Amino acid sequence: MTQSRGRPRSAGVGDAIKAAAWELLAEKGYDSLTMDDVIASAGCGRNTVYRRYSSKRELILSLFQDMYHDDLPAMGPDDDPREVLIDYTGRIVRFLTGTPGQAMVKILEVVPRNPELAAIRHQYRRQFSEKLYQPLKRISAFTPSREVLAFVEDTLAGALHYHTSVVKRELSDREISGIVDSIVGSIRNINAMYYPLCQLYLRPVARVSNGYFSG
């Protein structure tokens, strides 16, 4: 077995580095953050930090991994999709009102002009989105397109960002349930709008398959 060089890595030191990075991101933003800031705030030696993260990019990548990895539990086959959405939304609200959530808002400000950061975020957000889509699909009368799912996800994200980051409102459980119900209503309204059109185009296909147009 090959042994790694240097001192063993301490989980406590790693946590201190990440906590410092989150706090500094929330305070200064992505562009102003430097590795020297993280080193000073974490109270670690330079070599200790650079053994773990060779650059700011690597550190931010690690934060993204932590944020999206198993953040939402998988939906069970017998779970109520509305209750799952309420649970997911509550988790997102708790994240957004904490230091990491405030830091993520600062990161998102630079994503449109930072292709590398945008690619990293897209990679990990996709895993998050797939979990969120499951209860949305189950709630729908028929399977919505990915465009509809993405629209509903962005609508939910926009509402939560406004309440937690813009007006700094502390959302109650009742308000979280209300937001979820409005999202559920929106996806059902979209279904109601498109379902008759789908039926209109599908009826001739059904007739052909039933032999109505057979010779």
Residue range 138-148: average pLDDT?
A: 77
Residue 206 belongs to some domain of the structure: no
Same-domain status, 190 and 101: yes
Residue 6 lies in a domain: no
How many angstroms separate the CA atoms of 13 and 10, rounded? 5
Q: pLDDT at residue 183 above 70? A: yes
- Do 36 and 80 belong together in one domain? no
Token look-up 């000073």 returns: 40
Instruction: Identify the domain containing residue 21 by its residue range.
Output: 11-58
Question: Which one-letter amino acid corresponds to residue 18?
Answer: K
Total tally of structural domains belonging to the chain:
2
Percentage of the chain exceeding pLDDT 90 = 31
Q: Is the pLDDT of residue 178 over 90?
A: yes
Residue 132 placed within a domain: yes
In a domain, 214, yes or no: no
Q: Which residues of 89-117 are buried (b: 16+ CB within 10 A; e: fewer)?
A: beebbebbbeebbbbbbbbbeebeeeeeb
Residue 29 has pLDDT above 80, yes or no: yes
pLDDT of residue 55 exceeding 60: yes
Average pLDDT value over all residues in the chain: 80
Per residue, what are the HEC states of 7-62? CCCCHHHHHHHHHHHHHHHHHHCCCCCCHHHHHHHHCCCHHHHHHHCCCHHHHHHH
The residue that leads in pLDDT, 88 or 212, is 88
We report the CATH number of the domain holding residue 44 as: 1.10.10.60
Question: Is 183 exposed, middle or buried (CB count within 10 Å of its CB: 0-12, 13-18, 19+)?
Answer: buried
Name the pLDDT band for 64 (thresholds 50, 70, 90).
confident
Q: What residue type is assigned to position 53 of the chain?
A: Y
Residue 174 lies in a domain: yes
Determine the pLDDT at residue 63. Answer: 87
pLDDT of residue 69: 66
Residues 80 and 25 in one domain: no
Same domain, 75 and 156: yes
Residue type, 129: S
Question: pTM value?
Answer: 0.73
What are the structure tokens assigned to 154, written together? 């962005």
